[in-house]
C-alpha cells in the first residue's frame, strides 16, 4: 500500500509543477493532451521527473503524437 501512496504523491508533485492544460487520469498515471510543441513538452517532462527524482516515466507513440499527447506513468 505504501508504494501506491508514494506513486500518487510523485504524480501529484509532477502535475503541480508541469501544470498541464488538459490531462486524463489513467490507472497507471496520466495522459497529457493538446500540446502544440510536443517535443518541447516531452523534454520538459523528462527533465522535471529527473530533477525532482520522481518514480515516473514518459511514454509516447506515433499514435499519441497525432493528437499532441503523451503519458506520464508510474515507473
What is the C-alpha separation between 43 and 22, in angstroms, rounded?
Answer: 18
pLDDT at 72: 97
pLDDT at 1: 40
3-class secondary-structure state, position 74: strand
- Can you give the pTM of this predicted structure? 0.87
pLDDT at 6: 73
48 pLDDT higher than 60:
yes
Written in H, E and C, the secondary structure of 14-41 is: HHHHHCCCEEEEECCEEEEECCCCHHHH
Out of 1-5, 27-31, 39-43, pick the least confident. Answer: 1-5
Amino acid at each position: 500500500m505504501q508504494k501506491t501512496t508514494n506513486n500518487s504523491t510523485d504524480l501529484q508533485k509532477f502535475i503541480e509543477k508541469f501544470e498541464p492544460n488538459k490531462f486524463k487520469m489513467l490507472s497507471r498515471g496520466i495522459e497529457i493532451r493538446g500540446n502544440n510543441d510536443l517535443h518541447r513538452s516531452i523534454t520538459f517532462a523528462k527533465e522535471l521527473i529527473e530533477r525532482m527524482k520522481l518514480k515516473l516515466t514518459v511514454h509516447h507513440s506515433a499514435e499519441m503524437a497525432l493528437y499532441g499527447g503523451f503519458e506520464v506513468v508510474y515507473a
